[in-house]
Every structure is written in structure tokens, then in C-alpha cells.
Structure 1
């Protein structure tokens, strides 16, 4: 396809009678969404569309919205155990270490998988060293994947993110949301926080 219009025509022609499940991740502009699925009649009856970006969802008509919550502790421990031990629960000798790892990962699935896989097959001594290090510095693979998400933000979103990350640790989410348009978020974070890069 040489341009967006060609792509739109192809999508309409080829998918108009097909029932499909479409997952759109990292779509952050309305024009991207319009090019991929302008109207519901582009796809066959019974099609499902999942969009992972709440800001894009807010500008289109949706049947339902679902906010994903963090994994609960037991599911987090289970996911970690599958990656570290290839089973649903940690080995008895590693239970304390596994709980510590889940705490460090803060129930983030990506972090649980990366940390669990990196500790798999290691002796307790190595676990002690790695977990101690991870308490201070996040795992490089997790950091690099999270950095991709950060890089997709526009300048204003980056400023807000850095201000929240540096200044509102363990604050009530609702307080931060109410402050979104305040003077604080219009300033560059490095003028507010000496630890920001």
C-alpha cells in the first residue's frame, strides 16, 4: 500500500464480511484509529475490537470500557513461579525469596516474567544477590521495555509522567488526577526534581 486511503479501501473490501477479533495496542492518535477501523460496518457482524489506550477510547463510541487492575498477590506469585520454577507455586525452600521478588516486581506481569526467568535454575545465594540488586535498580530488560512506552508519549505527557514519578510516590491517585491541569504540570520536571534526568 502506498498511502492510507489504499489501506482503508483494502480493509473495508477484505474484512467487511468477516467476523474478527482486533486488538489495537499503542494506537495513540484518532487518525490512526480512523485508518484502521473508521466505522463498525467495516467488519462483519459479531466482531470485537479491543483498544488498550484509554485516551483513544474516550474519543470514539464504545459499547463498554474495562479498566484493568493490577494482578492480585496470589496470581502474581503463580505467574512468577511458572517462570522461575515451571510450576504453579514456589518450592518450599524458595517461598520467602519468591514473595520478595513479587514485592519488588509490584505485581507487574512483565517484571514478574523477566525476573522469574532470570532467577530460574539459580541457587539461593544468587537469588539473594539479584534480589538485593533489584531492590535498588530495576532489571535492565524490564526497564528497556518500559522505556519504549515512555518514548511514545508526547512532550507534555512526558513532563506529567516525570513529575508524578518524582513527586507523588505513594500519593492518592485522585489527588494527582485533580492536579493534572495545575501549574505544577506545566513546569518541566527537572526544574522541580533534582533526581530526574
Structure 2
């Protein structure tokens, strides 16, 4: 049978094997579309063609948000313009100033849990490297990240960094040198450190380059 099959947010190779194990399961002309944050799964499943979906730019994000929020192509009243701009920055889905102030420090539970899935799927070593980058090294070059992590852990970190890249937790920036985390992913990492430090007024994580201080 000719089918259009969409597998959304795949995070386990068993899901692909169970639903779309072999090409000959479907009739000629069928299309299987898979969305995932883990590009390694696609490689394991021998997916022939992949496409990296890029986020909206600031202008596109502004247009989409005001249409969803105000059902028009302009901000009404105009006094909300700064709030909308702030909402785009934090990508939190809310347009209230008090909520946005909160999201600067703490992720909404639903957003946090969605992002936490990718973190929990990492090995212990990758988790430590992820938290080091989130707390200390976001925006550094690959060479800087590798050298600092290697100096701290005493061994090469290139494999672990590649795993984070494959799971879309860190990406090469638009300038081709600096590696970056999305603000929400970076904040999620810092939230994890906070969760692990509830019984402490402050905690130095990993490299010791940054101390995260939280009120008791």
C-alpha cells in the first residue's frame, strides 16, 4: 500500500524498527517522514536523506507570534511590542511580563521535561560534559571546549562533544567556529545543577569556572 507515514519526535531506535523497519514494508511511492533531535538514530536506520530544520529568524518569529497572539499582522496595543520581543528571546510561549521575568530564571515544567528527555538519554560522561558546557563554555570554539575539558578530565572529549551534537544539544554557530546551545537548553542545564544542589547554598560544577549561586 502507498502510504504517507510521519513519525514525530523519535528518541529510540526501537520505535523506528517497529513501525518502519524495512523499505519494502510499504508500497512504491510511499513517503516516511521522521522528526528527531538525535541524528545518530537516522544514521543507524540508514535514512537516505536528512534535512536540518532551522529555527525562524527574529523577523519571522515576530510575525508568527503576533499573528497567534493578536490575530493580526501588528501588535495591538503597540505598548506590547517590547513584551513580544522579550517573548521571542525566551521562546516561552507567554506574553505576560511577570511570566517572562520568571522564565529568565526558571523553565516552565512542560518545557523543562521535554528538553530533559535528551539529557536523560545521555551517558554519565556526556551528562557531565553537557553541564560543563551549559554552565561554563557556551559560545566557545570547539578547540577551546576540547582543550578545557581535556585538561579537566584528563582525556579527549571529542567523542562526547560529537554525541551532544548528534542529539542537537549543541550546534556549530553561524560563524562556523563557536559552538552554541540554545538559550532554553542552556537554562535547562543550569536548572539541573540547581535541582542537584537544593541542599546547598551554591555549587561549583565541573570545571569550576563558574559558581552558580542560589538563595537558600
Sort the TM-score into its range (normalised by shorter chain).
0.5 to 0.7
Q: Please say which structure displays the higher CA radius of gyration.
A: 1
Q: Distance in 2 between matches of 1:47 and 1:89?
A: 41
Q: Matches of residues 10-159 of structure 1 in structure 2 within 5 Å?
A: 17-29=1-13, 31-51=14-34, 52=36, 53-91=38-76, 92-105=78-91, 111=92, 114-115=93-94, 119=95, 127-159=96-128
In structure 1, the partner of 2:138 is 169
How far off its partner does 1:178 sit? 6.1
8 A contact 2:137–2:145 mirrored in 1: no
Q: Which has the higher strand share?
A: 2
TM-score, normalising length from structure 2? Answer: 0.59
Q: Distance in 2 between matches of 1:177 and 1:45?
A: 47
C-alpha spacing 1:164/1:27, structure 2 compared with 1 (3 Å): same
Q: Distance in 2 between matches of 1:176 and 1:38?
A: 41
How far off its partner does 1:151 sit? 2.8
Aligned pair count reads 160
In structure 2, the partner of 1:3 is none
8 A contact 2:90–2:103 mirrored in 1: yes
How far off its partner does 1:32 sit? 4.0
Give the alignment's Cα RMSD to 1 decimal.
Answer: 3.4
How far off its partner does 1:177 sit? 8.1
C-alpha spacing 1:135/1:32, structure 2 compared with 1 (3 Å): closer
How far off its partner does 1:171 sit? 2.3
Structure 2 gap ranges (5+): 161-203
Larger relative CO (CA 8 A, sep 6+): 1 or 2?
2
8 A contact 1:104–1:134 mirrored in 2: yes
